[in-house]
Structure 1
Amino acid sequence: MNTDKPRRGMAPLHFVDDEWLALRTEDVIDPDRPIVDAHHHIWDGHHTYLVPDLVNDLQCGHNIRGTVYVECSFMYRADGDPRFASVGEVEYANGVAATFASGYYGPVRACAGIVGRVDLTLGALAQPVLEACMSRAPDRFRGIRHMAAWDASPEVNVLRRSPPKDLLLDPNFREGFARLSELGLSFDAWCYHPQLPQLIDLVDKYPNTRVIIDHVGGRAAKGPYAERKEEVFRGWKASMQQLAKRPNVFCKLGGLNMRLSGFDFIDRDLPPTSQELASAWKLSIETCIEAFGPSRCMFESNFPPDKSGCSARVLWNAFKRVVSGYSEDEKFELFAGSAIRAYRLPDALGKPAPDV
């Protein structure tokens, strides 16, 4: 638990205040529905979020059956060839997955899929690094994320190590990207909405590579975009509809609790209710589902960043409220099926937990 607490409204990026989150309690909605969390991290950087914290959130009362670990530049190797430093994160995540696979934490299988990071600007030299990641987690390594999120505004461009502008167009990056389909690996795309046309161009160049868009396409509502929300929404929607026409592209529904999205829930005196979150997120989520269909959309916690604004129980309640009117088959796809297919996870993760 964090003890050095900033005042509400002045909390740093990704700060999690457990005492504040505990001020909001709710009953679990639809507790038996199997969930595969398509996107979370483990780290000790912005603040501590390690395995005990993950276990607590997975035991929030929702039936979370499995998760996908996504890179966050954690546990890199300190020694050896620096090109292979990121292999250390894959090794770490695979070790975490092994502890859950033992059944020690119950039926949940955290890190059942692993998305690592490899520097694709290495071009053809990225291939041996990709192969090293595969060899270290042969049953779980599914692809990479090389973050491209760049914006000229410092209010938007908040990554600790900002990528270069126009990374997705870089010839060396694309030479490395070409290796993914050859190895059967996917690509997680994290970019801001003005970069989506570049992503469309990349997808069209490599139609055999599975691409999973993070955080509903990174629509920004901070900095220069704060006063142009309707215009930004129209442009973002058009780009997402174009991406949805490409059958190799999936979309993650989440990441909306970060300040980037323009909501102020993080800075309020009381945490939001799931109803407040559902109302705020509904248009973004339903726009993506309408474009991609439930079979290519998947819910993500994006914890711990999104934990800055709500607890795990409230988060999953909010998602369930947004799609409460959908069919059972559609809900299965959104909460488990799409993630299982996109990341080639065991089908058992989409089934109810066994009696213990």
Structure 2
Amino acid sequence: MAKAPDGATGYVPLPIRDDWLSLVSEPAIDPGLSIVDAHHHLWARPGSRYMAEEYAAECTAGHLLSASVHVECGYGADLAGPLHLRPVGETRFAERVRTEAHAGRYGDGHLCAALVARADLTQGDATAAALEAHATASAALRGIRQFAAWHPDPRVVSGFTAAPRGLLSDPAFRAGFARLAPAGLSFDAWIYHTQIEELADLSRSYSETAIVLNHFGGPVGTGPFSGRLGESFADWRRCLATLRDLPNVRVKLGGLGMRLGGFDLFARDRPPGSDELARLWAPIVETAIETVGPARAMFESNFPVDKGSVGWTVLWNTFKKITASFSADERARLFAGTATEVYRLWAEAS
């Protein structure tokens, strides 16, 4: 069985600089368009706080946030007890936020209406126990994420720890993966675009399991693709095409504010506005939607990670401008409908 390497990767998340973000201000466009943020995190770490209060404050900027999907990030995990059960602490934390939001503490948006939890699927019977514990901790549990992003170039990093090479093909991982569909759970896949073909093989082998590809499939613009975004885009587009005829795969549209993408927006004297971002990101957004269709794609903020490069209002304005020529039905799917369907938000527990 593949083992994850020990030690840190050298990954450092981008700092959130509210004073820098405030240098660009613009009103929210299409404020009546309902949004389900398909992917965000909450955490309180040394020098970085982004909890429910901070996230809810974003929703006062004019965009209509109807609900959000909380995805694991390691915050709130239990520090004691069996290793396979420690991530359940984060699920309990997110469930408390969901309950408070449902009671109106954070305004009208249903924060953490669905939860994607962390679990190690390679641990046999312990995997089954972890899935059961997560489900017991929250009736809003909808999926599992296990970090699978791996690249041979050590300069390509997007997390504090590295995933093992070939995780998606590991028999132990696949044995755990096979438990998801019977439990009514999807799988959120965080990988790099160089691994998309591996994910396609996983999808074909487990066609009954819904797979949600995070952040466009992780287009790599650093390491071997540094300064070669055109080549990265062409390679990503070729890999993404392998998912075209795999109906159990959905794609999250977001995450381009990370260092990984190579756009280096955070290094500018001023943050970008939505007009510039729409021109910069449109090829990626339009290619992804063309490849899988609006019914299999959903927008995400990836906050607070992407907040290191772009503000909330500008981000959603960008997505709205890129899709301005789409039909009302297509936009409804992209901004809310697909996420609602995949994460079964109509079944949110009271």
SS of the residue corresponding to residue 219 of structure 1 reads coil
Structure 1 unaligned spans of 5+: 1-10, 349-356
Aligned to 2:26: 26
Aligned to 1:35: 35
Distance 2:118 2:103 in 1: 26
1:120–1:172: 8 Å Cα contact kept in structure 2?
yes
> In the alignment, residue 239 of structure 2 is paired with which amino acid?
S
Query: 1:214-225 to 2 correspondence within 5 Å?
Result: 214-225=214-225
Deviations 1:177-234 (A, max 9, x none): 1100111100001000111111111111111000000000101011111254334323
1:68 is the counterpart of 2:49: no
Aligned to 1:86: 87
Distance 1:188 1:265 in 2: 26
Aligned to 1:111: 112
Distance 1:152 1:244 in 2: 26
Distance 1:132 1:12 in 2: 31
Distance 1:60 1:212 in 2: 28
Distance 1:347 1:306 in 2: 29
SS of the residue corresponding to residue 48 of structure 1 reads strand
Deviations 1:3-33 (A, max 9, x none): xxxxxxxx95321001111111001100111
1:288 is the counterpart of 2:288: yes
| TM-score w.r.t. length of structure 1 | 0.91
> In the alignment, residue 81 of structure 2 is paired with which amino acid?
G
2:40–2:70: 8 Å Cα contact kept in structure 1?
yes
SS of the residue corresponding to residue 57 of structure 1 reads helix
> In the alignment, residue 149 of structure 1 is paired with which amino acid?
A
2:38–2:299: 8 Å Cα contact kept in structure 1?
yes
2:156–2:222: 8 Å Cα contact kept in structure 1?
yes
Deviation at 1:104, TM superposition (A): 2.2
* Greater mean deviation of Cα atoms: 121-130 or 280-289: 121-130
Deviations 1:132-153 (A, max 9, x none): 1111111x10011101011122
- Report the count of equivalent residues: 337
Deviation at 1:236, TM superposition (A): 1.8
Deviations 1:89-135 (A, max 9, x none): 11110100111100122211000000000111113431111011111
1:298–1:333: 8 Å Cα contact kept in structure 2?
yes
Distance 1:337 1:326 in 2: 15
Aligned to 1:201: 201
Aligned to 2:314: 314
Distance 1:153 1:258 in 2: 17
Deviation at 1:302, TM superposition (A): 0.1
Deviation at 1:300, TM superposition (A): 0.1
Aligned to 1:339: 339
Aligned to 2:190: 190
* Greater mean deviation of Cα atoms: 161-170 or 299-308: 161-170
Aligned to 2:3: none
SS of the residue corresponding to residue 252 of structure 1 reads strand
Distance 2:12 2:218 in 1: 20
1:188–1:211: 8 Å Cα contact kept in structure 2?
yes
Deviations 1:234-283 (A, max 9, x none): 33212212212111110000001112111121111111101111111100
Distance 1:153 1:13 in 2: 19
> In the alignment, residue 315 of structure 2 is paired with which amino acid?
L
Report % sequence identity: 43
Structure 2 unaligned spans of 5+: 1-10
Deviation at 1:68, TM superposition (A): 0.1
Deviations 1:287-318 (A, max 9, x none): 01001111111000000010001110111001
